[in-house]
Amino acid sequence: MRHCLRLRRLFYRHSAVSVLSVALLSLLPTIFFALRSFPMPSNMDEFSTLLAADTFAHGRLTNPTPPLFRHFETLHVIMQPTYNSKYMPGGALLLALGQRVFGHTITGLWMATALCCGAITWMLLAWMPAEWAVLGGVAAAFSLPISQWARFYLCCNLAVFGGALLLGACRRLLRKPNLPSSLILGVGASVVGLTRPYEGAVLSVLVFLWLLLESRRFGVWVTLRRSLLPAAFVVLGMLAFIGYYNWRVTGHPAELPYAVYEKDHGTTPLFWFLRASPSGSDLRYPWAAGFNRMERWSYNLQQTPVGFSWYLCFVKLQGLWRWYSSFLLVGLLGVPFALRNRLNRQATAVFILWFAAELLCSWLNHNYTAPAVALFFLLLFQGLRSLAQFRLRGFPVGACVALLAVLACIGARFTAADPRPTYEQPYGYERARIISRLQATPGQHLVLVRYGPGHMIASEWVYNGADIEHAPIIWARDLGPSDNRELLEHFHDRHVWLLQPDASPPLLQPY
């Protein structure tokens, strides 16, 4: 007991010890699951982000359009005016750091995971006692979203990190406006903006409005000068970087790579209430037609009240339930009691408004929710704290339930039969095996990919790094003998292979 009290005093007096301890502890399940099954990119979002990471690791912001680029066109990658990912550069920058410093991009994922778990602990320290903050940080490290995103090369945990900085700085500024917390607020808003721009912008605006509405305690001018203005300068710096990045990638400071890709390839608006315009992209890019049909089906279904209700309940909400359901949800029982506190009510209102804005999107994938994960954990642990106050004949039943929920969450992750999440498709591992086979064969290689008629839409094999011309292995689309001839002449010094990925197993043979 004496040792426990000493540990508690250590956490109380030195918040840095709490934050660092949880950050390091979060690497335990991350590396444990990686040793059981090393994560391979197997998702179009991951391959697109890895292209940007490889570009940054080469010391440049974008790449020139490769010659004969029609053979290299693929989902979520732009080829003109430059060759790059369509996504925001935040996650790719951290993956590039891992690639340059440690030699592998997965170390960037591990850094993001440690950062986000440490930031969640730092956030909770501003809202609750140290022992609860540490417990919440540990539970976050073993939770399904964060532990699974530690295997997902989209680097979603970086957005979680940004959201935690936002909420932690906001609570400290509500207590006392000060420059360090304001700068951290700006950093958090910048990080979520560089990773999930729409969801991050909504959360940042709501937090800034929250601070402004609470300015009556210190005065509007003091709140603006000490809380919001320094943060705004940090955000302006981020916007200047994005403008420069856009200019280098798309040729216009206000045009995101995402917008360029959707203008050329997309057929469905980002929000279900916007009108879809007819597009001929399926004729120009037949390889994207199946993916566009899938997106358009979701959009069309939501244009009627019945279809919208069905899609909301059985696709969006059910998908989130599968992703976030855990023993920690017992904390929801205590949330009504936690709402007695005014700040908890305000935090809940922010979450509800953010989630309502999220439901305006035509789709709702698990990674879209990353900026608000820290807020979700905050509400859960405020509920667990309230639940812990419940006693039955003097016995702390609520505290036991809260502790068991956290232990069960940890145990469920370690005893999972398969550490791989559902979005890790088997073809990613098949692709990695083929890469290993080609690397063991002397020389450089050109792989022509020929899909069968029943090919799965999202199982895209044609992805390359930043420097296609000098890559040891180049993946290209088989466009038929006449179109292939020019490609074969251009890469005449390479071994040419034909890959039929829809065979069982995938068939690789000399072309």
Conformational region of residue 155, where left means phi above 0, alpha means psi within -120 to 50, and beta covers everything else: left
Strands 445-449 vs 473-477: parallel, antiparallel or unpaired: parallel
Residue 165 CB contacts under 8 Å (≥ 6 apart), including other chains? 119, 122, 123, 184, 185, 187, 188, 191
Q: What gap in Å lies between CA 92 and CA 100, rounded to an integer? A: 12
- Does 7 have pLDDT greater than 70? no
- What pLDDT digit, counting tens, does each position of 49-101 carry? 999 999 999 999 999 999 999 999 999 999 999 999 999 999 999 999 999 99
Name every residue whose Cβ is closer than 8 Å to that of residue 25 and which is 6 or more positions away in sequence: 117, 138, 141
What is the band of 227 on the pLDDT scale with cuts at 50, 70, 90? confident
CA distance 493 to 471: 13
pLDDT > 90: percent of the chain: 63
Q: pLDDT digits over 406-461, tens only?
A: 888 888 777 765 566 666 677 888 999 999 999 999 999 999 999 988 787 778 99
Question: Do 344 and 382 contact (CB within 8 A), yes or no?
Answer: yes
Strand 473-477 versus strand 495-500 pairing type: unpaired
Helix (H) or strand (E) run with residue 496 in it = strand 495-500
Q: Per residue in 171-211, pLDDT tens?
A: 999 999 999 999 999 999 999 999 999 999 999 999 999 99
**3-class secondary-structure state, position 192:** helix
pTM for the model: 0.94
Residue 141 and residue 22 in contact, taking contact as beta carbons nearer than 8 Å: yes
Rounded to the nearest 5°, which phi and psi values hold at 497? -125, 150
Q: Let me know: does 135 contact 406? Beta carbons within 8 Å.
A: yes
The pLDDT of residue 384 is 92
Sort 120 into a burial class: Cβ within 10 Å, 0-12 / 13-18 / 19+: buried
Q: Which range among 303-307, 358-362, 454-458 shows the weakest confidence by mean pLDDT?
A: 454-458
The H or E element spanning position 181 is helix 179-195
| Average pLDDT of span 25-39 | 85
- For 69-99, give one letter per residue: b (16+ CB within 10 A) or e: eebbbbbbbbbeebbbbbbbbbbbbbbbbbb
For residue range 116-141, what is the model confidence (pLDDT) as tens digits? 999 999 999 999 998 899 999 999 99
Quick check: helix, strand or coil at residue 417? coil
Q: For residue 77, what are the contacts with CB-CB under 8 A and spacing of at least 6?
A: 47, 48, 51, 83, 84, 85, 86, 261, 463
Name the residue ranges covered by the structural domains of the chain.
Answer: 2-38+88-252+326-414, 276-323, 426-510
The H or E element that residue 473 is part of is strand 473-477
